[in-house]
Amino acid sequence: MIEVLVTGGAGFIGSNFVRHALAAHADWRVTTLDKLTYAGRADTLHDVLDDPRHTFIRGDVGDQSLVEPLLARSQIVVHFAAETHVDRSISGALQFVQTDVIGTAVLLEAARNARRLQRFIQISTDEVYGSVATGASRETDELKPRNPYSASKTAADRLAYSYFATYGVPVIIVRPSNNYGPYQYPEKVIPLFVTNAIDEKALPLYGDGQNVRDWLHVSDHCRALDLLIARGDIGEVYNVGGGNDVRNIDLTRRILALLDRPESLIAPTPDRPGHDRRYCLDSTKIQALGWRPDMPFERGLEDTVTWYRENEWWWRPIKDGDASFRAYYDAHYARPR
Ligand code: NAD
Ligand code: TYD
């Protein structure tokens, strides 16, 4: 059996990856390590918690005595755990430095002495390139992060690279674009807008709504990770973009149309400080290995809307029942920016 450690596996992409990994690899034994912050919930792994090939451990990636034995027995590490919401990084940057930078450093230190380790997959982000006015970012482009989240992720990305270059840790760095799909925490734009629209509440669209994101379905991302674990070159960086460049205003209108809700629900909202205008990835490097995104954006968005309609059991306790979400929402969206 191949021992796989997934950090942040109770979050959005991590939980989709755990599910994908157990289904696709009968010879993998998966350990999820997750702190269960506000963004992680054991519920999200409801259908795999009892799988005999899956173990869930609640803990912090920054806890050295916990991660050392986990790394020592792992052949593959996929490191998703992070603080991930840009808006929260603007109102409280230090937790992002703590988890995304220091937490990654602790894991990498443990990886130095992990004799069985064959792959350490560092999940980075397209946001490390900063805002790109034209064209598409390539892996060799300069990194120009512009908010505390992307700056912390850039530090982790380069730290991971340094552990390859200096100590030979078998690191591969992955820079995916904006993911969407089931189990995404409803602070991120697609699940926030879908669930608000279901409830006929306002959709707080920042600024002029012209910002562009490149949307990647989480299932395409999971397939890309599989490929990179099997065939990616150690020490290399790979962009993984969905090839779906969409303006926020167009995304918002599509969500409203899919839910048969009026455009009068769009609520222009003061812009995010330092809001990156556009992200766009050149993914030719991973495409040369044989990966292509399979999910057309129209279908992926429709499936995602359907998933949120059919799975209120998952998101309604967060939006309606979790006092900390309510407090965040009220403070964040009421605040003039
Ligand atoms: P998420 O916020 O949904 O989940 C993060 C998970 O990490 C949660 O389960 C949380 O409990 C856990 N976690 C946080 N701090 C931890 C700690 N100290 N120790 C252990 N677990 C901890 O995030 P996501 O959207 O699934 O993102 C996963 C990764 O992918 C992140 O590294 C993120 O930077 C990266 N990424 C995300 C996107 C996107 O669109 N969502 C795009 C590109 C890259
Ligand atoms: P988000 O989901 O926070 O992802 P990221 O900032 O990491 O790309 O936001 C996606 C886009 O949607 C981004 O341009 C900001 C915008 N947005 C809004 O217009 N309103 C909102 O309430 C949120 C959360 C995001």
Dump pLDDT digits (tens) for 135-148: 999 999 999 999 99
Return the closest-CA partner of residue 116 out of 170, 60, 167, 173. Answer: 170
Please give the average per-residue pLDDT across 38-50, as a whole number.
97
What gap in Å lies between CA 21 and CA 11, rounded to an integer? 15
Ligand 1 centroid to 15 CA: how many Å? 10
Atom of ligand 2 minimally distant from the CA of 279: 8
Q: Between the CA atoms of 265, 207, 283 and 307, what dihedral angle is there, to the nearest 10 degrees?
A: -20
How many angstroms is it from 188 CA to the middle of ligand 2? 6
Q: Which residues contact 125 (CB under 8 A, 6 or more apart)?
A: 150, 153, 175, 176
Dump pLDDT digits (tens) for 70-125: 999 999 999 999 999 999 999 999 999 999 999 999 999 999 999 999 999 999 99
- Asked if pLDDT for residue 308 goes beyond 90, the answer is yes
The protein residue whose alpha carbon is closest to atom 20 in ligand 2 is 205
Distance 209 CA to ligand 2 centre (A): 10
Residue range 254-276: average pLDDT? 97
Known catalytic residues are 126-127, 149
Q: Give the pLDDT score at 335.
A: 61
Q: Is the pTM of this model over 0.75?
A: yes
Q: What percent of the chain has pLDDT over 70?
A: 99
Q: What is the mean pLDDT of residues 10-27?
A: 98
Q: Which helix (H) or strand (E) holds 205?
A: strand 203-206
Which atom of ligand 2 sits closest to the CA of residue 178?
8
Gap from CA of 72 to ligand 1 centroid (Å): 23
Q: In this structure, which ligand is nearest to the CA of 100?
A: 1
pLDDT band, residue 337 (cuts 50/70/90): very low
Would you state the structure tokens that stand for residue 31, as one six-digit string? Answer: 């350990």
The separation between the first and the last C-alpha atoms of the chain, rounded to the nearest angstrom, is: 52
* Identity of the amino acid at 274: G
Q: Ligand 1: which of 5, 6, 12 to mutate, most ligand atoms within 8 Å of CB?
A: 12
Task: Give the C-alpha separation, 284 to 292, whole Å.
Answer: 10
Query: Domains of the chain, with CATH numbers?
Result: 2-180+215-240 (3.40.50.720), 189-213+248-277+302-333 (3.90.25.10)
d(CA 180, CA 188): 9
Q: Are 110 and 68 in contact (CB under 8 A)?
A: yes
Atom of ligand 2 nearest to the CA of 207: 19
Q: Which atom of ligand 2 is nearest to the CA of 333?
A: 22
Say if ligand 1 is within 6 A of residue 145 CB. no
Question: How confident is the prediction for the chain on average, in pLDDT?
Answer: 97
> What CA–CA distance (Å, rounded) separates 163 from 183?
32
As beta bridge partners, residue 33 has 7, 57
